[in-house]
Structure 1
Amino acid sequence: MSDDPNFDVPVGLFEDVADLKAKVTQLTALLEQLTEHADHAGETADEDGTAAGEETAADAADEWQYPPFILLLDSPEYDDELRALTEWVEGVLVPGYLAEPSADARWCHLWFDHPVAVARLHACWLAWQELTDPASCGYTGPSVWHRDHLDPCMRELRASSGPFQGCTKGENQINHRLPGLVPSAWRRTGEAP
């Protein structure tokens, strides 16, 4: 078919195939985990007579924990998650990906004071954890992470209208603008801001 002059390969086809391979690898790993869990569940029964395969909703919720949205966490879980996120941002993201801030590419050294930045960076970090593991996503994971997660996240955060728009770095000073607090449905009644 390569001798056929009418045979053209679309430019994005190779990226699409790589993405599909990564998804198949990820789904295969998940299927293996679920199969192992089902095999183990069929071998045992609870003391109260309930078959292990007949888990209660509470048991299933305890077993399959996915990372929560960081802004919905309360202390001390929020503090622990923010601490881990800070290690990644300051240890991987800042030295590896962020050049000197400019008017066109802002960065605030107090990014953790900006809830929008915390939320976006946390989502980017969760994706990084998943997509840098060849066992779950193959070898194309890092490329997918850069294209689908890091680049859009940095465009939003570092844009002139992004969360760091009021934070500036002068020659002898750094001005940090804290975001204003907006009433939120997430905040509980009586909770201090």
Structure 2
Amino acid sequence: MTEDIKDLQAQVRSLAAQLKRLSTTPAEPTEATPGEAAEGEEPAEDGWQFPPFILLLDQPDYDEELRALAEWVEGVLVPGYLGEPSADTRWCHLWTEHPVAIARLHALWLAWQELTDPATCGYSGPSTWHRDHYDPCVRELREPGGPFAGCTKGEHQVAHRQPSLVPRAWSLAIGQESALPH
């Protein structure tokens, strides 16, 4: 019950901060920001709401986002949170070669950016980040069957996590003929 009240208080503070920002901005912006429609226009269906999820980005945006993610992972997450890897708590120093790790770490980073800003989520944001984002993400990454399962201190493997066949539905979804037998 106490956590629910604190979460509600954080949401109220976030809305109050957002209202304050909106009430102090000029009434007539000169230009719409990316992903935002100009006044009187409908928002474009393909317009991004920033920051976009890394796996949805094309080059060179993907590389720029991965570079920023790597700075956070190597500068904050690894030295501050991840202890020495072991057989039970795996970590791969070549994590950028594991697409599942990139996806999970990027989602974790997006949540960290939002939940460590007291202006938008109050002072309970970091606690929420640890409980709802960090703990489950790191458990999934470091578990024996996770994306680093084949990696040890002296060995790195990515292929062990790649499917040998692409499911037919994926091929059909992107408009390609399936090479798999029906």
TM-score, normalised via structure 2 length: 0.78
Ranges in structure 2 where 5+ consecutive residues have no aligned partner: 31-37, 177-182
Deviation at 1:20, TM superposition (A): 1.4
Deviation at 1:55, TM superposition (A): 2.5
The residue number in structure 2 matching 1:57 is: 43
CA distance in 1: counterparts of 2:3 and 2:88, whole angstroms: 29
Q: How far does the alpha carbon of each residue in 1:54-93 deviate from its partner, in whole angstroms, 9 at most, with x for none?
A: 13434x976x732111111111000000000000000000
Ranges in structure 1 where 5+ consecutive residues have no aligned partner: 1-12, 45-51
Which of structure 1's runs of 4+ aligned residues deviate more than 2 A?
Answer: 27-37, 55-58, 179-189
Q: Percent identity?
A: 62
One-letter amino acid of the structure 2 residue matched with residue 40 of structure 1: A
| SS, match of residue 105 in structure 1 | coil
The residue number in structure 2 matching 1:177 is: 157
1:40 equivalenced with 2:20 (yes/no): no
| SS, match of residue 66 in structure 1 | coil
Of the candidates 134, 141, 154, which is equivalent to residue 157 of structure 1?
141
The residue number in structure 2 matching 1:30 is: 18
Deviation at 1:102, TM superposition (A): 1.0
Q: How far does the alpha carbon of each residue in 1:82-124 deviate from its partner, in whole angstroms, 9 at most, with x for none?
A: 0000000000000000001111111000011000100000000
Structure ID, larger Rg: 1
What pairs with 1:1-193 in structure 2 (closer than 5 Å)? 13-36=1-24, 40-41=27-28, 53-58=39-44, 65-169=49-153, 174-179=154-159, 180=162, 183=166
The residue number in structure 1 matching 2:33 is: none
| SS, match of residue 124 in structure 2 | helix
Q: CA RMSD of the aligned region, Å?
A: 2.6
One-letter amino acid of the structure 2 residue matched with residue 178 of structure 1: V
